[in-house]
């Protein structure tokens, strides 16, 4: 109005944040450049460049590759995380894990070969296994 040009910048720079809800089943691979939270079931591989959050109700049957990850649900497949992987007490993992750093809460069920920062460590957890702690 009145001879002035209005400049509108329609470019919006934000990484995509995706959500797959509980009760959703996806048959096939997922690939995204953004972050993703999954509470449903995926039968396929997940390849993302951002952060992956797997909720308590998530069920993944396939390989996972991401920048950072947090697992509260079930995974049957290999997991590759470039930076930090957090595994909660409700997680159940059956597959190999390769990550930069690893945080595991007591109670998590893991059947995996774990490799961190080029150093390989064989970890096998059996039900009702007792861990001896040193006396202070």
Q: Is residue 76 part of a domain?
A: yes
Domain contains 130: no
Q: Is residue 40 included in any domain, yes or no?
A: yes
pTM exceeds 0.85: no
CA distance 24 to 42: 8
Exposure string of 82-110, with b = 16+ CB inside 10 Å and e = fewer, is eeebbbbebbbbebebbbeebebeeebeb
Q: What would you report as the CA-atom Rg of the chain, rounded to the nearest whole angstrom?
A: 19
Range of the domain at 34: 17-124
Reported as a pLDDT band with limits 50, 70 and 90, residue 89 is: very high
Q: What is the mean pLDDT of the chain?
A: 85
Contact 113, 122 (CB under 8 A): yes
Residue 92 domain-assigned? yes
Domains of the chain: total: 1
- Residue 1 domain flag: no
Q: What pLDDT digit, counting tens, does each position of 30-52 carry?
A: 999 999 999 999 999 999 999 99
pLDDT band at 7 (very low <50, low <70, confident <90, very high): very low
Residue % of the chain over a pLDDT of 90? 72
């Amino acid at each position: 109005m009145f001879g002035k040009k209005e400049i509108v910048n329609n470019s919006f720079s934000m990484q995509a944040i995706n959500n797959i809800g509980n009760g959703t089943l996806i048959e096939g691979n997922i690939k995204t450049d953004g972050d993703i939270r999954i509470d449903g079931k995926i039968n396929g591989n997940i390849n993302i460049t951002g952060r992956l959050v797997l909720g308590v109700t998530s069920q993944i049957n396939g390989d996972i590759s991401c920048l950072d990850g947090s697992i509260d649900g079930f995974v049957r497949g290999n997991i590759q995380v470039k930076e930090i992987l957090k595994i909660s007490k409700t997680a159940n993992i059956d597959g190999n894990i390769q990550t930069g750093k690893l945080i595991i809460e007591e109670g998590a069920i893991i059947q995996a070969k774990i490799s961190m920062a080029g150093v390989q460590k064989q970890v096998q957890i059996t039900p009702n296994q007792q861990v001896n702690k040193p006396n202070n």
